[in-house]
Chain A
Amino acid sequence: MIDKKILDVNNLYIKYGKQEPVVKDVNMSINHKEIVGIVGESGSGKSTLIRSILGILPTGSSISSGNIIYKDRNLLEYSKKEWREIRGNSIAIIFQDAGRSLTPILKIGDQFIETIRSHFDISKFDAHDKAIDMLGKMRLPDAERIMNSYPFELSGGMKQRVAIAMAMTMEPELLLADEPTSSLDVTIQAQVVREMMELRDNFNTSIIIVTHNMGVASYMCDKIGVMKQGELVEWGIKDQVINNPKSEYTGSLLSAVPELGGYNIEERKSTRT
C-alpha cells in the first residue's frame, strides 16, 4: 500500500476570543487507511483540534493562523456551499455522546432516512433499505426494530453504533471520532472498538480518534499524538510512543494508567495473611 496523504495540518493555532490560544502550533499528517489517536487530559485542546478539521468550532473560537490541507486544498478557504458537500460525504464525525447527537423526538428510521436523503437523491424506500443494510454492517441485530424505535429506547452502546452507522453511510474517506467509547461499558467499548477497526478494512477509511484512554489508543491506532495544554508534545508511530516516549509528559501519562497485571499504583498487601 502506498502511503497517500489525505490530511495535513500545518502550524495550526486556535483561540477562543482574545485569550491564549488553546491549540498551539499543531502539525500532523494523516495517510490513507491510517488510524490516528490523539490522547491527552481534558482541557488539552484535543476536541477543539478535531472539530476544527470539520469546521464546526463553537462560536467565539477561531483559527488564528495555520492551515488544514485536505487532499491538496485548504479547508479554511472553503465556502459554505463547499463545506456542505464535504461534511458527511467525505469527512464525518462521531461525538462522545451519541444519545445527544440524535434527535430525541424522531424515530431512528426517520432520522436515518433524512440523513441519507440529504446527501443522495433517492426515494425513501431505497434510503430505508440502505439504512437497514448499514445497521446490519454495524452488527446491530434486529435492524427493523431499531429503525422503528426512539433514541431513548436504545442502550448507550446501540446508540453509539447507530451514530457510527449514520456517519459511515456516505462512506467518508476520513472519520473523526471524539471520545466515541468513553461513555460506554468496558464490554461494549471492546465491541465498538473492534467494529471501528473493521471500518478501515471494509470502507478504506482513515480515522482520527480522540480519546483519553491510552489502552484504546494503543490497541487500535497506527500513530499516536499526545496533547498537553494545546501543544502536540508527542507524535509518532504507536510502538515508539508507547515504548520509548520522547516527551516526559507521555511517560507520566502512561505510568498513570492502571494496569490489570501488577500493581503500578502502589505495592499493597492484601488483608489476608
Chain B
Amino acid sequence: MRKEKVPVLKIKNLTKKFNLQNGKKLTAVDNVSFELYSGECLGIVGESGCGKSTIAKILTQLESVTSGNIIYKNKDITNLKGEELRQNRRNIQMIFQDAAESFNPRMKIGDIVREPLLNFKLMNKREAETEAKKLLAMVGITEDFMTRYPHQLSGGQKQRVAIARAISLKPEIIVCDEATSALDVSIQEQVIKLLMDLQKEKGLSYIFIGHDLAVVRNISHRIIVMYLGKIVEVIDSDKLITDAAHPYTKALLDSVFSVKMKNKTEIESIKGEPPSPTDIQLGCAFSSRCTKCMYKCLKEKPELKEIGENHFTACHIF
C-alpha cells in the first residue's frame, strides 16, 4: 500500500502496574515498545490477562501509565492534561468489545452518533444530523434507525453504530478491543469487511486486539503476540503460519480449531494456565508451560531480538 513507512504512533518502554489491595503490585504491561505505521493494521493477540486490553486503554488514555512514553506524530502525549488531552482524544478512537454496553440505553441511535460531533463543537445540530446520516449510511445502516434505541438493534447493527461513532471525528487511529468477539461468525465477517473497506477509503490505522488468531490474522498486516504483559513475538501476518518461532505462538496456532482440519491431526494444547501477574518470576514468563524449557529460561529473561526481516521474538532458543 505505502512504500515509505511513517510511524503514526510510537510506544516506548511502556509499563503499567496496578496496586492491589494487599500491597502487592500487578504488572499488567511490562516494558513494551512497538510502532504503528500509517495505514497499517496491527494485531495484538494473547490469552486473557496478558495485558492487551490494558494497552488499548492506555493508548486511548483511559488509563495512565506507570512509566514509558506514547508518541503520536512526534508529540509526546503521555502526560497530557485538561483541554489538550480532550482535543487529543479526537485522533485516537476506540471500539469496544460490547457495543451495547458502551451506549447510553436512553439515547437514540442518531443522538449517539451525533454526540461526539456536538461535544467537540464541530458543527451545529442540524449539520450534525446530516453528518450522522452520512456516517450511518457508510456503515450500512439506514436512516430510519436514527430514531431507534440501542436495545432495538441486533448485536451486529450495534457494532456498526459503534464504528460509525468512532469514525465520526475522523480519527487517524482506531483501537478495536475484541471488536468482533461477541458476534456470530456471519456477522463477524461483515464487520471485518466493513473495517477493511473503511481503512482503504480513509487510510485509517488500526490496532486490532483479539484472542482469535484466525480473525486477527485475516485483518492484520503485522501481529504482536503477548504473554503476561510482555511481547513474545512480532511477525508479519502472512508469515505467521510458516515462520512462527516462539513456542507460545506455536501453541496458540495449534489451539485453533479449523473446519477444514481433519480429525486425525491431534490438537496439541499446552497444559496449565498462565502464572499470576502479581509475582513475576525470574526468567522467562512462559517457562512454566513451555515444552522446550531449558535451564537458562528459568534464570534469565529473554529479550526481544530480530531473527528475520521484521520478525522479532523473545526466546532463548534463538
Instruction: Please report A residues at the B interface, Cβ cutoff 8 Å.
Output: 41-42, 141, 155-158, 185-191, 193-194, 212-216, 218-219, 242, 252-254, 256-261, 263-266, 268-273
Contact = CB atoms under 8 A, between A and B. Distances in A.
B186 A253 contact: yes
A271 B221 contact: yes
A194 B267 contact: yes
Contact of A271 (B39, B211, B271): B39
A266 B186 contact: no
Interface string B256-285: 111111010001011111000000000000
A250 to B, nearest CB: 11
B214 A258 contact: yes
Contacts of B240: 260
B256 A260 contact: yes
Nearest to B4: A273
Contact of A218 (B236, B253, B261, B272): B261
12 contacts: A185-B48, A186-B212, A186-B213, A190-B255, A193-B267, A212-B184, A218-B257, A242-B259, A256-B189, A257-B214, A258-B185, A260-B214
Interface of B: 1-3, 5, 37, 39-40, 47-48, 155, 184-189, 192-193, 196, 211-215, 217-219, 221, 236-238, 240-241, 251-261, 263, 267, 269-273, 310
A184 to B, nearest CB: 9
B196 A268 contact: yes
B193 A213 contact: no
B256 A265 contact: no
Contacts of B221: 270-272
B256 A155 contact: no
B259 A215 contact: yes
A261 B1 contact: no
B273 A186 contact: no
B185 A257 contact: yes
Contacts of B189: 256, 258, 265
B185 A214 contact: yes
B186 A214 contact: no
Nearest to A184: B48
B267 A271 contact: no
Given A187-B252, A216-B257, A194 B269 contact: yes
A252 B186 contact: yes
B237 A270 contact: yes
Contact of A187 (B47, B155, B215): B47
A191 B271 contact: yes
A219 B263 contact: yes
A218 to B, nearest CB: 5
Q: Which of A213, A219, A263 has the most CB of B within 10 A?
A: A219
A68 to B, nearest CB: 27
A187 B48 contact: no
B184 A42 contact: yes
Contacts of B187: 41
A221 to B, nearest CB: 10
Nearest to B2: A271
Nearest to B40: A271
Contacts of A242: 259-260
Contacts of B185: 41, 212, 214, 253, 256-258
Contact of A259 (B184, B196, B214): B214
Nearest to B217: A260
B269 A187 contact: yes
A261 B241 contact: yes
A195 to B, nearest CB: 10
Contacts of B273: 155, 157-158, 188
B258 A259 contact: yes
B261 A219 contact: yes
Given A219-B261, A253-B186, A260-B256, A266 B267 contact: no
Contacts of A141: 272
B184 A215 contact: no
Nearest to B239: A270
Given A191-B269, A218-B257, A258-B188, 18 more contacts: A186-B252, A186-B255, A191-B271, A194-B267, A212-B185, A214-B185, A215-B257, A215-B259, A216-B257, A218-B261, A259-B259, A260-B214, A261-B260, A265-B192, A265-B219, A270-B221, A272-B221, A273-B3
Contact of B267 (A41, A190, A264): A190
A41 B184 contact: yes
The 3 closest A-B pairs by CB, nearest first: A215-B257, A190-B269, A190-B255
B229 to A, nearest CB: 16
B259 A257 contact: yes
Contacts of B39: 271
A217 B298 CA distance: 38
Contacts of A264: 218
Given A212-B185, A261-B241, A269 B1 contact: yes
